[in-house]
């Protein structure tokens, strides 16, 4: 077992990961490595619930605001950058905290996944897109899940880019998208803590967070980003952005857009939990206070 120690904090959106990570980093002289696939993008601040500027000044955060929304960033890119950041934190005598809800990002680091490169197949992608035009997006997503059942918990069913890519990989290689990554010897000795509030509590937190986002002029952020990068930037498939873009395009009322954000966020939170629950090593707690007490006792 490696002697490099890492603490990972995972769980569904709005479960309290950011607050807990900052509290622990302050208590134990640590730094935070974000494991959020949308917080990497500059300008996507309100809708991704990034740590505030004050929080980021208090505790160093890594892998936030490192790409523009129209730039690609793969799991392999994240794994490389996160491992580099964690090693640097350890080398400086600090405690690294890996904090976020993007399950594949966390697995890539904690399990040291071997992430194979798959060559794009433009002809197959065109065939998949033709299937979407003919049969509808839902039918193509069902085809993906039939080939790769675990994709239902990993791939956002409303994100065409991710669904097409996952199906392309599965059809090209003959191996399910979610089974493409194998484990290597771990790079770090990791304690993974999962936050899992009661469903009613989590649902209320999600709704309250989205109401606060709207009060903080989330719509202005989306409008600014669309003007700068165009509505088709791949990062804007993120929940919240795509629904407000539909509002800006006249496809939804504001009321319907907000309702859709809340519902889609709740469904995403349940998919996150399904993904993380498959990892037996995670120690689950219902509250940040309980988690803070446990970690404090462990690290004394």
State both tokens at 238. Answer: 């993120």
In order, the DSSP letters of 55-108 are HHHHS-EESSS-B-TTS---HHHHHHHHHHHHHHHHHTTPEEEEE-S-HHHHHH
What would the CATH number be for the domain defined by 5-115+181-299? 3.40.50.300
Nearest Cα residue to 97 out of 5, 14, 11, 12: 5
300 band by pLDDT with thresholds 50, 70 and 90: low
Q: What does the pLDDT look like over 9-25, one tens digit per residue?
A: 999 999 999 999 999 99
Which residues is 33 bridged to in the sheet? Answer: 62, 98
CATH number among 2.160.10.10, 1.20.1260.10, 1.10.20.140, 3.40.50.460, domain 122-179: 1.10.20.140
Instruction: Give the pLDDT confidence score for residue 180 in this predicted structure.
Output: 64
Nearest Cα residue to 77 out of 21, 117, 19, 43: 117
Q: What does the pLDDT look like over 50-93, one tens digit per residue?
A: 999 999 999 999 999 999 999 989 889 999 999 999 999 999 99
The mean per-residue pLDDT over the stretch 222-226 comes to 98
Q: Helices marked H in the chain — which ranges?
A: 17-27, 53-58, 75-91, 103-110, 122-135, 137-147, 160-173, 199-215, 218-229, 241-248, 254-276, 288-299
Q: DSSP 3-state assignment of 30?
A: strand
Q: DSSP 3-state assignment of 221?
A: helix
Whole-prediction pTM = 0.85
Q: DSSP 3-state assignment of 42?
A: coil
Whether 261 has a pLDDT exceeding 70, the answer reads: yes
CB atoms within 10 A of CB 279: 16
Contacts of 126-135 with C-beta under 8 Å, sequence gap 24+, read 128/164, 128/167, 128/168, 128/171, 129/164, 132/160, 132/164
Q: Per-domain residue ranges for the chain?
A: 5-115+181-299, 122-179
Average pLDDT, the chain: 90
């Amino acid at each position: 077992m490696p002697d490099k120690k890492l603490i990972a904090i995972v769980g569904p959106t709005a479960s309290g990961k950011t607050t807990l990570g900052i509290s622990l980093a302050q208590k134990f002289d640590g730094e935070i490595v974000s494991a959020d696939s949308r917080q990497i993008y500059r300008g996507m601040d309100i809708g991704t619930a990034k740590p505030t500027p004050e929080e980021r000044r208090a505790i160093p955060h890594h892998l936030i605001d490192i790409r523009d929304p129209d730039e690609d960033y793969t799991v392999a890119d994240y794994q490389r950058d996160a491992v580099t950041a964690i090693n640097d934190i350890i080398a400086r005598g600090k405690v690294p905290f890996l904090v976020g809800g993007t399950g594949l990002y966390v697995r890539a680091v904690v399990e040291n996944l071997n992430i194979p490169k798959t060559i794009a197949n433009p002809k197959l992608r065109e065939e998949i897109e033709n299937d979407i035009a003919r049969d509808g997006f839902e039918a193509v997503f069902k085809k993906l899940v039939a080939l790769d059942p675990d994709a239902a918990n990993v791939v956002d069913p409303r994100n065409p880019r991710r669904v097409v890519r996952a199906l392309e990989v599965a059809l090209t290689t003959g191996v399910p998208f979610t089974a493409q990554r194998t484990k290597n010897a771990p790079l770090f000795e990791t304690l993974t803590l999962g936050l899992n509030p009661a469903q009613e509590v989590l649902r209320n937190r999600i709704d309250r967070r989205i109401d606060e986002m709207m009060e903080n002029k989330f719509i202005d952020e989306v409008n600014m980003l669309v003007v700068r990068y165009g509505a088709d930037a791949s990062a804007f498939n993120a929940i919240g952005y795509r629904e407000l873009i539909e509002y800006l395009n006249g496809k939804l009322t504001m009321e319907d857009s907000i309702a859709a954000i809340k519902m889609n966020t709740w469904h995403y939170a349940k998919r996150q939990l399904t993904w993380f629950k498959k990892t037996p090593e995670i120690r689950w707690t219902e509250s940040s206070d309980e988690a803070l007490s446990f970690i404090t006792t462990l690290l004394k």
